[in-house]
Amino acid sequence: MSSAEDTLVLPRRPALLTALARFICSPRFAVYLCCSLIVVLTSYELGKDMAWDTLDYHFYAGFSALHHRFGQDYFPAGPQSYLNPYVYVPFYLLATSGLTAPQVALILAAVQSVILWLAYELALAVAPPSTPRRRLALALCAVALAYGEPVLLNELGSSFADITTAELVVGGWLLLVLAIRRPAVLRLACAGLLLGCATALKLTNAIHAVSAGVLVLFVPGGWWRRARDAALFCAAGAVGFAVVAAPWAVGLERHFGNPFFPLLNGIFRSPEFTTARIIDYRFIPISLGAALWRPFAMIAPDAMVHVEWASPDLRYALLLLAMVAASTSWVWRQMRRKAASGADLTHDDAARARVALGLAFLVDWSLWLTASGNSRYFIPMACVAAVLAIALLFRLCAGRPKLLNYLLLAVFGVQFLQLHMGTEYPSRTGWRDEPWFQVSVPRALATEPALYFNIGIESDSFIAPYLAPGSGLINLEGDYTLGPRGAGGRRIESLIRRYSPHLRVLVRDIRRGESHEAGFPYAVKVKLNDALDPFGLQLDTGQCAGIVVRGITSPIMTVYSGSVPPKVSPTDADIGHFISCAVVPQTTRDPAIAAGEGPANVVLDRLEDACPALFQPRRQVSYLLGDEAHGYIWARQYVNTDMSAWVAGGWVHFQRLNDGGKEGYAGTVTAWEKAPPPVTCGRGPDGYFLRVIRPH
């Protein structure tokens, strides 16, 4: 057996040191070491990651997992606050350990490099029978293509859990492929455990666990044995899921009545969240034609195709074409030599593994496109796609080395040119020899517990660990708007009574230069008061304090009051300023607010009923914008479709914000108050649309 084909199991007879020395001298160790070095260097070259998700909920999730925040926080980072947080604990511990940011990133990158090790092993497992050198070349090419995935590169050295949980998924699939070649009950059980754990840590991995069932069906044996193997795999997956999910699920069940809160609430029906289905349509194809075109659409360096930033990737188009060519070649051989092709598939266990892996990938791809279409949740299958594409190219070009070399040169040339020229690498800052978060909090905020209100989709909950112990945090207007009514309103009122009079707001000041010291921004003051108004509270700008954070990226959306953005000095570019002001009981309330809320809700309810395809989930809490001088606006946002709808100036407005969609008009408020006008709406090739049908 060649060194490239060695298994990871140490031999029994040689001493441990002898076996270790043999492993260190093998090509496998050299590949592992090179993969880790390349990943670490790539992470360092990209810079420190300060992604939106890191500031919004990743850091807070690790903090919450260790400090039991159920009793003092409420949706502090929106619905993501209650997803299983254990996978973010390592990042939280590293970031608060005293290590510098480069040291933290390099440790994270080293752990994330394991996914390339697994891609190498998977490539060897499905490699066609050949010389050891050719098999090694195949595996190295597969690893290089797996590394050249733009979404994976963007997450190296970051707080994202997609790569680390993807390692569990790829590990489970690798064990199943090995079980197809050499059946073993232990491999099936371990694969189930890994995929169950991966699903518990990140529920988007559930589609990979389901698709892995295709691999189980290809394990050799009769139907009785296959049924037994499938039962064992499912049982092991359930055990792995339960062990990892149970501790957090018990807390969610105790506080909200839903062990997966806020997910699956249509089943468990917690009164503190919508029971409607939550699904993000952002990257889900609008038609069968769009779904079939998706592998080729992903080649273009365009944003909002399969992730928010431009991430061109040709591996899926390459795999599709290779699969078509391989299938055509097999049919041709079947027609010319009927017996030979059948014998090849029966006796070549590597071919059987490739067929199983290809079918499982197609099932996974189909489920993924219907569930999210977001490539951050498809990283494990990106590695599988790289392995399959390279393995098929080597199989198709067997006996044609020059053609293979030309094809590989073209593939890697295009992919890595796109990585350099077509891929965006957002949310990165320069390295400082300082901790990941450098937060300067005034002594009063660090010692006196208070209840903090914040607003906005980016919650900035990462500041919570630096506030006084015992402090609470509520995000009133994030992905999910909170109102004063119902079970959620009662919980907020309870927290207000508990912390009064120590109530404060926490908001980011996006002004630059010296302007952040020129009083409280008027627009922010109005928005905060609008959010506090339903709870009988208002802002007191006479009692404010500032928080400074170094090494932070700019907010996603920056709004300037002037026509020209102020110039930013290099030293000020990565410094974030936050303002915390006292909150006091409301003195007076404009009667126009109460008078306008009811009619606005009637209109927005009717708009949702007339076009459920655009405005979902329905019956969200309306939030207030504006003031007495400029007029009031009642608005709702719909997380499934990234839509917003609002009533202002006698008109009904709607807009899809995440892709810069144009503002639309759905008619007058008066018309909707009388009776809902007939409309046509939905998702089309040009995006979301809604048109009022005019009578002839």
pLDDT of amino acid 514: 59
Instruction: Give the orientation angle of helix 379-396 with respect to helix 349-371, to 10 degrees.
Output: 140
C-alpha 647/C-alpha 636 separation (Å) is 9
> Closest Cα partner for 479 from 75, 46, 63, 133?
75
224 and 243 housed in the same domain: yes
Residue 77's DSSP bridge partners are 79
What DSSP assignment string belongs to 173-185? HHHHHHHHHS--H
192 and 244 housed in the same domain: yes
Domain assignment present for 433: no
Nearest 10 degrees: CA dihedral of 58, 94, 38, 411?
-10
478 and 517 housed in the same domain: yes
Q: What does residue 569 show for φ and ψ, rounded to 5 degrees?
A: -75, 155
Three-state DSSP at 686 gives coil
C-alpha distances out from residue 523 to 36, 47, 511, 528, 634, Å: 48, 33, 12, 9, 16
pLDDT of amino acid 244: 97
108 and 225 housed in the same domain: yes
Three-state DSSP at 692 gives strand
39 with 109: CB under 8 angstroms? yes
Task: State the total domains in the chain.
Answer: 3
Instruction: Give the domain-ending residue among 561, 589, 617.
Output: 589
194 and 325 housed in the same domain: yes
- Would the pLDDT of 347 be above 60? no
Instruction: Give the domain-ending residue among 421, 447, 475.
Output: 421
pLDDT digits (tens, 9 = 90+) for 503-562: 999 998 877 655 555 567 777 888 888 899 999 999 998 889 999 998 887 765 433 333
Domain assignment present for 71: no
Three-state DSSP at 587 gives coil
33 and 120 housed in the same domain: yes
- Would the pLDDT of 567 be above 70? no
pLDDT of amino acid 80: 93
Domain assignment present for 24: yes
598 and 577 housed in the same domain: no
C-alpha 195/C-alpha 320 separation (Å) is 26
Amino acid code (one letter) for 533: D
685 versus 194: the higher-pLDDT residue is 194
- Angle at the Cα of 313 from the Cα atoms of 32 and 656, rounded to 5 degrees: 125
Q: What does residue 422 show for φ and ψ, rounded to 5 degrees?
A: -110, -10
- Would the pLDDT of 696 be above 50? no
Residue 192: CB atoms within 10 A of its CB come to 27
pLDDT digits (tens, 9 = 90+) for 173-214: 999 999 999 999 999 999 999 999 999 999 999 999 999 999
Domain assignment present for 428: no
212 and 228 housed in the same domain: yes
- Where helices occur in 456-569 by DSSP H, the ranges are 486-499, 522-532
- Say which residue the tokens 């003195």 belong to: 587
Q: What is the mean pLDDT of residues 288-311?
A: 93
309 and 357 housed in the same domain: yes
Look up the pTM and report it.
0.91
Three-state DSSP at 432 gives coil
Domain assignment present for 583: yes
591 versus 173: the higher-pLDDT residue is 173
- Would the pLDDT of 8 be above 60? no
581 versus 662: the higher-pLDDT residue is 581
692 versus 414: the higher-pLDDT residue is 414
C-alpha 195/C-alpha 198 separation (Å) is 5
614 and 671 housed in the same domain: yes
178 with 187: CB under 8 angstroms? yes
pLDDT of amino acid 572: 56
Instruction: Give the domain-ending residue among 589, 614, 642.
Output: 589
Q: What does residue 659 show for φ and ψ, rounded to 5 degrees?
A: -110, 20
Domain assignment present for 638: yes
Instruction: List b or e across 279-301, with b for residues whose CB sees 16 or more CB atoms inside 10 angstroms.
Output: eebbbbbeeeeebeebbebbbee
As given in the structure block, the two tokens for residue 206 are 């559930």
- Say which residue the tokens 């006008």 belong to: 677
537 with 503: CB under 8 angstroms? yes
Q: Determine if the peptide bond prior to 262 is cis (ω within 30°).
A: yes
119 with 143: CB under 8 angstroms? yes
pLDDT of amino acid 249: 96
Sign of CA dihedral 215, 220, 223, 227: negative
Burial of 510 (0-12, 13-18, 19+ CB in 10 A): middle
Residue 626's DSSP bridge partners are 632
Residue 667: CB atoms within 10 A of its CB come to 17
Domain assignment present for 580: yes
187 is in which domain, residue-wise? 3-46+98-421
Q: How confident is the model at residue 1 (pLDDT cuts 50, 70, 90)?
A: very low
C-alpha 51/C-alpha 282 separation (Å) is 19
449 and 347 housed in the same domain: no
pLDDT digits (tens, 9 = 90+) for 435-455: 999 999 999 999 999 999 998
C-alpha 78/C-alpha 61 separation (Å) is 11
Instruction: Give the orientation angle of helix 206-217 with respect to helix 185-201, to 10 degrees.
Output: 160
pLDDT of amino acid 518: 58
C-alpha 287/C-alpha 687 separation (Å) is 12
566 and 633 housed in the same domain: no
- Say which residue the tokens 């099932």 belong to: 363
pLDDT of amino acid 555: 67
Domain assignment present for 23: yes
